[in-house]
Amino acid sequence: MESGLDGSGRRRRWRRPAPRSHTVARHAFLWPALLFILFLSVFPLVSSLYLSLSRIRFTADGIQISFLGTTHYESLLFGSQATHFLGVLRSPTPLGWLVFAGTAALVAWGFWRAVKGGIGWSGLIGRAILGFLLLGLAWLMVQAVFSEGGRPGTLLLTIIYVGVGVSLQFGLGLGLAMLATQRLPGRRFFRVVFLLPMMITPVGIAYLFRMLTDTARGPLAPIFSAVGLHDWTWVNDPWLARGMVILADTWQWTPFMFIVLLAALESQDVQVVEAAQVDGANRRQVFSNITFWAILPVSVTVILIRAIEAFKIIDLPNVFTRGGPGTATESLTLQSFFDWRTLNLGRSAAIAYTLVIVVTIFAVAYVRLSRRDAGNEEAPS
């Protein structure tokens, strides 16, 4: 460290440049590791993109790769695989039109709010693109779900898994975390018990629920027989099978939400809460005006992490229902796995890349919207 005087007579300090050997050593050790990590990250993306645009055949002479362009994507969106990928689309019922109108109203309100908030042109363009994507997704959803004879495909079903599953897991996790912070007898014991499902692998969860829901030979068979459900098979109903998959996924991942939100609740400023209670605030007011804003950054982060993981759901529907009945519980990742298992590697890569695009759009939109709202909104005083 050396010092001197600047033009105004004040003392200034600067660091002596590091020896050249140190700079060379730093580059020699850092750059190989950095390039290796970049190779492991970029090469699979580039190679899978090329595979999604090609047809791969295994012959006696080796592997033949034929470039097809966007054939696989066209097949998924408009061709023979459209009913499997997007679903069976029919004219919406009155309830479907009501849901679509409500979605359109929410999109319009969000865009008007952004304009009123003085957002820039780039932000308006981004919001407009996001709004059109949301409206398109809502239109597909009401045609597949809220229609006579409609059926959601793997894309829409994966989005349903994420939306319904993550919402249930967050709500239950927050409720259990708030109970665990109360001065109740045995709360330390239940903190440990609530974490047990997260320690079991998804395959184990799937086999566990297969046994529990077996109405003929499962451990709950006497109960099913007593209520007249001995000869009833729940897996034959598509929506009931989907609900069971969501229930199993919720049972496994609610502890993850619980432990993170519990840490956030216990780290909030106790003095602020006690001051609000002294001023006469009830529990609802304390939660809405203090606790909610204290755990908001953690909640935004944990929902994003869990949603990205939920998009990749494969073990539960594969082992629990084998994607059935038919393809009723088949997710995008499971569809890609089935194509890979039948050596249709090109279409498998196209489905996987579609999932990457969907997750990227969701993550970018979620982060931008949550960051803007968290920066502009303030806790009520």
Three-state SS string over 338-381 comes to: HHHHCCCHHHHHHHHHHHHHHHHHHHHHHHHHHHHHHHHCCCCC
- 50-69 tens-digit pLDDT: 999 999 888 888 888 899 99
CA dihedral 140, 311, 358, 260 (to 10 degrees): 120
Q: How confident is the model over 108-159, as pLDDT tens digits?
A: 998 898 888 777 888 788 888 889 999 999 999 999 999 999 999 999 999 9
0.85 surpassed by pTM: yes
Q: Which domains does the chain have, with CATH numbers?
A: 2-52 (no CATH), 150-376 (1.10.3720.10)
Phi, psi of 148 (to 5 degrees): -85, 115
Q: Output the pLDDT for position 375.
A: 53
The pLDDT of residue 1 is: 47
CA 275 vs CA 179, 225, 268: distances in Å: 21, 56, 13
* Contact residues for 160 (Cβ-Cβ < 8 A; gap 6+): 145, 152, 242
Q: Where are the alpha helices (DSSP H) in the chain?
A: 20-52, 71-77, 82-85, 94-116, 121-144, 154-180, 187-193, 202-212, 221-226, 238-266, 270-278, 283-286, 292-310, 315-316, 332-341, 345-376
Q: Is the pLDDT of residue 25 over 80?
A: no
Q: What is the pLDDT of residue 76?
A: 94
d(CA 16, CA 3): 10
What residues contact 93, with CB distance under 8 A and at least 6 apart? Answer: 146, 147, 148
CA distance 344 to 158: 21
Residue 330, token pair as written in the block: 């088949």
User: What whole-number distance in Å separates Cα of residue 81 and Cα of residue 155?
Assistant: 12
Q: How far is CA 81 from CA 141, 153, 334, 350, in A?
A: 17, 10, 15, 12
Kindly report, residue by residue over 281-339, the tens digit of the pLDDT: 888 888 888 899 999 999 999 999 999 999 999 999 999 988 988 899 999 999 999 99
Cα–Cα distance between 292 and 290 in angstroms, integer? 6
Query: For residue 8, is pLDDT > 50?
Result: yes
Exposure string over 129-149, b if 16+ CB within 10 A, otherwise e: ebbeebbeebbbbbbbbbbee
Q: What is the pLDDT of residues 179-188, one digit of tens each?
A: 888 877 877 8
